[in-house]
Amino acid sequence: MPNYYPVFLDLHDKRAVIIGGGTLAESKIAKLLDAGAKITLISPKINDGLKATLEQGSFEWLERDYRPGDLAGAFLGIAATNARPVNEQIFQEAEEASILLNVVDEPLQCSFIAPSIVSRGPVTVAISTGGASPALARKLRETLSASPALEWADMAEVLSRARKQVKKQGAVIDPQRWQCCMTSDLLAMAQDGQEEEALSSLLSKLLDDTFPKLCSTLEKCQPSGCGRKPGECAA
């Protein structure tokens, strides 16, 4: 099995071609639509779920079998048919045209594989076993989905705004200081809708050299200097 390079693709307004009209194609299209891709689906038939999505004008449907050349102009392609000879043709076309391609359940014919996804707000965790075991990827996804650690995703907006403020002021903040300042109290504020209060508290800790229990030098914040573990600084 190849060693895959993990990456998140910007598919906004980029053309994606999916060949196949069943359940597998339906699940792929849902995620591609979320990413803002412009989708062309090629299949003589599509299932009821895809028909419902089509009625919303979400993608283009070419009601026919795959033909060589159908990937022309595509940024990304997905072969989701149950016919191996057809998938092989699609694979060969993608290889010749240097188009990113995923052939469902055939990792050796993929230039990329779709990971198992855990999402909460703007945070996405992608899980891959390199094609070795989809069952393991699903088990990890289900475990992470129920993990309290994922609650930290609820602070994404506050942290994003704080980062912009820090950059605007030209301050240099050591990554460790960010970790030390991400406390359970701040998380609780964000989850209770008190984002302004959480932002103000976070910025005061990040930018105040004299804040108790934190290092006095912003550029060289160290766990040993704080005397506390990350996430345990005093309020």
CATH for 122: 3.30.160
Q: Are 61 and 76 in the same domain?
A: yes
Q: Are 59 and 86 in the same domain?
A: yes
Domain interval for residue 121: 115-146
Domain termination site, one of 127, 146, 165: 146
CA distances from 118 to 25, 26, 143, 172, 190 (A): 20, 18, 10, 32, 20
Q: Are 25 and 107 in the same domain?
A: yes
Mean pLDDT throughout 73-83?
A: 95
If you average pLDDT over every residue of the chain, what do you get? 89
Q: Are 99 and 120 in the same domain?
A: no
CA distances from 144 to 44, 115, 116, 122 (A): 38, 14, 11, 16
- DSSP code of 114? P
pLDDT band at 235 (very low <50, low <70, confident <90, very high): very low
* pLDDT on residue 217: 63
* pLDDT on residue 175: 87
Residue 2 belongs to some domain of the structure? no
pLDDT digits (tens, 9 = 90+) for 41-69: 999 999 999 999 999 999 999 999 999 99
CATH of residue 49:
3.40.50.720
* pLDDT on residue 5: 87
Residue 8 belongs to some domain of the structure? no
Mean pLDDT throughout 16-38?
A: 95
* pLDDT on residue 229: 52
d(CA 51, CA 119): 26
Q: How many domains does the chain have?
A: 3
pLDDT digits (tens, 9 = 90+) for 109-161: 999 988 899 999 999 999 998 878 889 999 999 999 999 999 999 999 999 99
Q: Are 21 and 110 in the same domain?
A: yes
12 exposure class (CB count in 10 Å sphere: 0-12, 13-18, 19+): exposed
Q: Are 31 and 101 in the same domain?
A: yes
**Global pTM?**
0.76
pLDDT band at 231 (very low <50, low <70, confident <90, very high): very low
Q: Which of 44, 86, 39 is nearest to 63 (CA)?
A: 44
d(CA 190, CA 202): 11
The tokens for 200 are 């103000």
pLDDT band at 234 (very low <50, low <70, confident <90, very high): very low
Q: Are 55 and 134 in the same domain?
A: no
- DSSP code of 154? G
* pLDDT on residue 176: 85
Q: Are 128 and 159 in the same domain?
A: no
Please give, one letter per residue, the 3-state secondary structure of 163-194. Answer: HHHHHHHCCCCCHHHHHHHCCHHHHHHHHCCC
Q: Are 139 and 156 in the same domain?
A: no
Residue 1 belongs to some domain of the structure? no
